[in-house]
Amino acid sequence: MSDQPIDRAPTRRTVITFGTFDVFHVGHLRVIERAAALGDRLVVGVSADELNLRKKGREPVFSQGERLEIVAALRCVDQVFVEESLELKRDYIVQHGADVLVMGDDWTGRFDELKDACEVVYLPRTPAISTTAIIEHIADL
Ligand code: C2G
């Protein structure tokens, strides 16, 4: 028999996902819960106000601090951080030791170049709900 100790420490699989999560809704919740189910630890990058302005051309309804607070409070989220730039995904994956990157399928193909750094999974979006549709609906009331 070998006298080598057997390493029984379980390997923790870290999942990372990103989003603005403005006017938090059930589509956001589902993608976060499904991302968490793919590993043991979920880290979420929440887009900075400045990034959102550049990306969508408008200020988010809820501030960066409020959006971070909401996402951090979810049971399945272990850690949150501010995503300053879309181009820094590789750095964030390395910094957080992520094994899997999860994005909604509105981003399909966009992050395939990161497949040498981690697994990349695109999950189907929840149909018929979006922050923009909610804002427009409320504005029409
Ligand atoms: N989402 C979803 N179903 C919806 C709406 C959103 O599954 N009906 C998902 C999106 O696909 C995304 C996440 O929820 O994975 C967050 O959505 P947004 O807040 O719209 O994120 P976005 O502005 O696309 O920011 O680095 C990438 C960006 O930070 C992503």
β-pairing, 100-104 vs 119-123, is parallel
pTM of the model: 0.93
C-alpha to C-alpha distance for 17 and 76, rounded to whole angstroms: 12
Contact 89, 107 (CB under 8 A): no
* 21 CA distance to ligand 1 middle (Å): 7
C-beta 103 within 6 A of ligand 1? yes
* 106 CA distance to ligand 1 middle (Å): 8
**Residue pLDDT, tens place only, 30-88:** 999 999 999 999 999 999 999 999 988 989 999 999 999 999 999 999 999 999 999 99
Residue nearest ligand 1's atom 15 by CA: 104
Residue-range domain boundaries for the chain: 14-140
Place of tokens 């981690």: 118
**Residue pLDDT, tens place only, 89-110:** 999 999 999 999 999 999 999 9
CATH of domain 14-140: 3.40.50.620
